[in-house]
Amino acid sequence: MTWLDEVRFNDDGLVTAIAQDAADGRVLMLAWMDREALRITAEIGEAVYYSRSRRRLWKKGESSGHVQRVRDIRLDCDGDAVLLAVEQIGGIACHTGRRSCFYRRLADDAWIEEDPVVRDPEAIYGGEGNG
């Protein structure tokens, strides 16, 4: 049995992956990994995810340049969620051009956008998807 066998992938062969800034602990994003994405991530030390919409692996930063260098990988107690402590190159994790995908906060029954756009997504992707 390998370390990958201890991960409980769901019926679609995926596991939740949370990326957290290794320096300050801020949650940057949530994505999905299949077995191959997790294996490659551990092997190369950079985050690789599985895109459910594109149905393929994607290396974080492949189009944006905002690579996530993995400093630590942890598995939760149930084995069904992975936590990646990362160094976020360029300081932008979200395809909206923000530091974190979790930029909206619930206040008075409404979602308030709190984090500014660091860089216009059009300037990052030129009309492409996220990455």
Within 8 A by CB and 6+ apart from 76, the residues are 82, 83
Query: How far apart are alpha carbons 128 and 65 in whole angstroms?
Result: 13
Q: What is the pLDDT of residues 16-50, one digit of tens each?
A: 999 999 999 999 999 999 999 999 999 999 999 99
pLDDT for the residue numbered 131: 54
For domain 3-118, is the CATH number 3.40.50.261?
no
Intervals of the chain under pLDDT 70: 127-131
Question: Which candidate, 119, 69, 70, places its Cα nearest to that of 94?
Answer: 119
pLDDT for the residue numbered 26: 97
